[in-house]
Amino acid sequence: MLDATRETLAELGWGGLTMGHVASRAGVAKTTLYRRWPSKNELVVDAVATLFDELVMPDLGSLRADIEAVVAQFADLLARPETQAALLALFAEGTRDRQLRRRIREAIVDPQKRLVRQGRAAAQARGELEADTDDTSAREEVDIIFDTIAGTVEHRVLVSGEPITPEWTRRFTDLLLGPMLAG
């Protein structure tokens, strides 16, 4: 059903997508959808959130290699037409719907911060970064790092339509790591 949702969204856009269209494409009754998702918003958010579950933080032996690998995974995910259509539709609709924006944060954004937490923990264990001494500061740093990576990659792929090349990823990682490793 989630695949059918993403396919329908890519084909018809936010305004054209209905629970009926998704049910038809998925080969289920509308009541089946409504039992699990009370609204189109909930259905689309869950359909998009599952895409991001594919992202993993590797442990390649260095923070640099880990960041470059995650950026490449994220860029590949964003390059898919179904991901682009779904994210752009959610972003646009979220500007008009505060509840949807909250749901996007809870289901998509906040769970993906795990990648930053995992990367920081691995780098701290390897001695590349100092251990956290203040939980509040650590949470704020995770938020800033996540926003920097996600915002930059999303802008480059979804807004500018520019590719994420290995060279671009290396330069971006240099800019990101400079202040982090400096202390």
Is there a single domain that holds both residue 106 and residue 65? Answer: yes
Domain with 28 in it: what CATH number? 1.10.10.60
Is there a single domain that holds both residue 90 and residue 177? Answer: yes
Is there a single domain that holds both residue 19 and residue 58? Answer: no
Q: What's the pLDDT tens digit per position in 12-29?
A: 999 999 999 999 999 999
Query: What integer pLDDT is reported at residue 133 of this predicted model?
Result: 92
Q: Is it the case that residue 117 has pLDDT exceeding 60?
A: yes
Is there a single domain that holds both residue 124 and residue 58? Answer: yes
Read off the pLDDT band of 183 (50, 70, 90): low
Q: What's the pLDDT tens digit per position in 145-181?
A: 999 999 999 999 999 999 999 999 999 999 999 877 7
Is there a single domain that holds both residue 116 and residue 145? Answer: yes
Q: What's the pLDDT tens digit per position in 74-96?
A: 999 999 988 998 999 999 999 99
Query: What integer pLDDT is reported at residue 181 of this predicted model?
Result: 72
Nearest alpha-carbon partner for 122 in 133, 114, 112: 114
Amino acid found at 153: V
Mean pLDDT (the chain, rounded): 95
Is there a single domain that holds both residue 30 and residue 111? Answer: no
Q: Token digits for 79? A: 């390059």
Query: What integer pLDDT is reported at residue 182 of this predicted model?
Result: 62
Domain count, the chain: 2
Is there a single domain that holds both residue 16 and residue 94? Answer: no
If 0-12 CB within 10 Å is exposed, 13-18 middle and 19+ buried, where does residue 30 land? middle
Query: What integer pLDDT is reported at residue 179 of this predicted model?
Result: 77
Cβ neighbors of 110 (< 8 A, separation 6 or more) are none
Average pLDDT of the residues in 114-141:
95
Torsion of CA 157, 115, 111, 143, to 10 degrees: -80
Q: Please check whether residue 115 is in contact with residue 70, taking contact to mean a CB–CB distance below 8 angstroms.
A: yes
Q: Please check whether residue 40 is in contact with residue 17, taking contact to mean a CB–CB distance below 8 angstroms.
A: yes
Is there a single domain that holds both residue 7 and residue 90? Answer: no
Q: What range defines the domain where residue 25 resides?
A: 2-39
Cβ neighbors of 177 (< 8 A, separation 6 or more) are 63, 64, 67
Read off the pLDDT band of 42 (50, 70, 90): very high
